[in-house]
Amino acid sequence: MMTTTHLALVDDWELSGNGSGDVRQLQFEPLRRLVAIYNELGIHGSFNAEVMQQITFRQHQDQHPNLKALADEWDETVRETFRQGHDIQLHIHPQWQNAEYQDGHWKLTADWSILNYSFKAAQQMLQRGKEYLEHLLQDIDPHYRCVSFRSGAWCIAPSPHMLDLLVQLGIVFDMSIVAGVKYDTRNIQLDYTDCEEGFLPYYPVMTDARKVSEKVEPIVCVPTNCFYASRRQVLRHHVDKAAGKIRNKITRPNVVSNNGRSVEAYGEQWAQIDGSRLSRVYRKAIVPYFRGKHTISDLAQLDYALMMEMLESIRKRSRASGLSDVPVVLENHTKDLHNFADLERFLRNAAASSDIRFITLTELARNLKHRFKVKTRRSIEHAAANHR
């Protein structure tokens, strides 16, 4: 059977996790560049607009007219992107709650993980975010709805209430699960090393999205894709990156790289607390040697060769599923995107392949009802029994 893979190009569109960075440089400009590439190739992409940030800008705009100008431009950028046929969906970073604005900088002190908030508090944030986006976009398309959710820093499981809350808000599917990731950082603790399904859509256990339910549930999980990059490509990618850094230092010694989003700030926010030297060596050097390096399919972090490895891995798994149509969610972060040329080359290649199609998140949600098969635990056991 011929298998068609339906790729959703998803992008978490936001400032840095600690609220730093310039909105124009990290969001407006790279988004326009990316959308221009999509438009040229006839692809419709999807953007997970982080709305807590925007609502916070609005809350402070009366005292700070510069924030009003940026918030207005945010609205206009989102509307213009949507008008051109791209999708906009819900993304929430709770650390923006009760943020303070001092001397032109944001100070975020609230918890980073939605899992640490009460049902009521989480409900308030998600409800307001959904209403903001729907209000903004429904006069362009009255049928527009928030149908998917990506939680800030992937925090969705386990939780006694998060999936119920999403159902209550009319969300059709969540895409916060990335099988295999584990964070134990200052801001985030989560463990997705034991996910029962890392590739295909499934009905989750309602209190633990890492597990596949026995039965049909009122919400679907579509995992965000990840793959094992070969040792050879990872090594080459790191050497290229290091060479790039040295080149930058020589040619532009005083320029802050990364659009004002410093590598040091990123490293500090995401540094693993699990700190023994031996465990670091094991994780970074020994595990990849046997299995390849576990890599989130985040296009901003990959070069062309790694993107092609990712696509090959997706093709293999799609075919192995025995299904005619498989949806796959790829990630991106506009704020980290620098290598537009490699991304364009990859998209051009994928767009020319007869077994690849591109879909938006709204299309993905619609097709979960008919075209795309959604797993239950029973269907997994059934398939395993047939295999024996």
Tell me the number of residues near Zn ion by CB under 5 A: 3
What ranges in 101-228 are assigned the alpha helix state H? 119-137, 162-168
Q: Which stretch binds Zn ion (CB under 5 A): 14-22, 105-113, 170-178, 285-293?
A: 14-22
Residue of 131, 148, 41, 155 whose CA lies nearest to 368: 148
- The residue (of 54 and 318) whose beta carbon lies closer to Zn ion is 54
Tokens of 26: 């990290």
Give the nearer residue to Zn ion in terms of CB position, either 14 or 303: 14
Of the pair 23, 200, the CB lying nearest Zn ion is at: 23
Applying CB under 5 A, which part among 10-18, 191-199, 236-244, 316-324 lies near Zn ion? 10-18
| Cβ atoms 201, 379 nearer than 8 A | no
Using an 8 Å Cβ cutoff, are 175 and 362 in contact?
no
Choices 13-21, 78-86, 104-112, 183-191 (CB under 5 A): range interacting with Zn ion: 13-21
| Nearest distance from C-beta of residue 175 to Zn ion, angstroms | 12
Is the Cβ of residue 12 or residue 309 nearer to Zn ion in the bound state?
A: 12
SS3 88: strand
Tokens of 12: 């978490």
**Surface-to-core class of residue 219, CB atoms within 10 Å of its CB (0-12 exposed, 13-18 middle, 19+ buried):** buried
- Which of residues 14 and 174 has its CB atom nearest to Zn ion in the complex? 14
CB contact at 8 A, 116 and 73: no
CA distance 145 to 370: 19
Single out the segment in contact with Zn ion by CB under 5 A; choices: 9-17, 77-85, 276-284, 350-358: 9-17
The binder of Zn ion chosen from 11, 12, 331, 363 (CB under 5 A): 12
Q: Under rule CB under 5 A, which residues in 141-170 are in contact with Zn ion?
A: 152
Q: Output 111 or 196, the one with its CB closest to Zn ion.
A: 111
Tell me the closest approach of the beta carbon of residue 12 to Zn ion, in angstroms. Answer: 4
298 or 344: CB nearest Zn ion: 298
Alpha helices, DSSP H only, in the chain? 23, 29-41, 51-60, 65-83, 119-137, 162-168, 231-251, 263-270, 277-281, 287-291, 304-320, 340-351, 361-367, 377-387
Toward Zn ion, which CB reaches closer, 12 or 87? 12
CB under 5 A: which stretch of 8-16, 130-138, 158-166, 204-212 binds Zn ion? 8-16
* CB-nearer residue toward Zn ion: 81 or 151: 151
Torsion angle, alpha carbons of 381, 317, 154, 86, to 10: -120
Closest CA to 217 of 207, 206, 225, 227: 206
99 in Cβ contact with 106 (< 8 Å): yes
Chain Cα centroid distance, residue 82: 18
How far is CA 219 from its chain centroid?
19
| Least spacing, CB of residue 92 vs Zn ion, in Å | 8
Which residue, judged by CB position, is nearest to Zn ion in the bound state? 12
How many CB atoms neighbour CB 72 within 10 A?
A: 13
Dist CA 240 CA 120 (whole Å): 47
Least separation, in Å, of the C-beta of 153 and Zn ion? 7
Minimum Å gap between C-beta 176 and Zn ion is 10
**Minimum gap (Å) between residue 142 Cβ and Zn ion:** 28
Window of 4-12, 164-172, 223-231, 261-269 that interacts with Zn ion by CB under 5 A: 4-12
| Cβ nearer to Zn ion, comparing 205 with 330 | 330
Which of the residues 207 through 236 are near Zn ion (CB under 5 A)?
Answer: none
State the nearest-atom distance from the C-beta of 39 to Zn ion, in Å.
Answer: 24
Q: Binding mask 18-37 vs Zn ion (x if CB under 5 A, - otherwise)? A: --------------------
Minimum distance of Zn ion from residue 270's CB (angstroms):
12
Q: Which 333-352 positions form the footprint of Zn ion (CB under 5 A)?
A: none
Hey, which residues does 205 pair with through a beta bridge?
A: 208
Q: Which residues bind Zn ion (CB under 5 A)?
A: 12, 14, 152
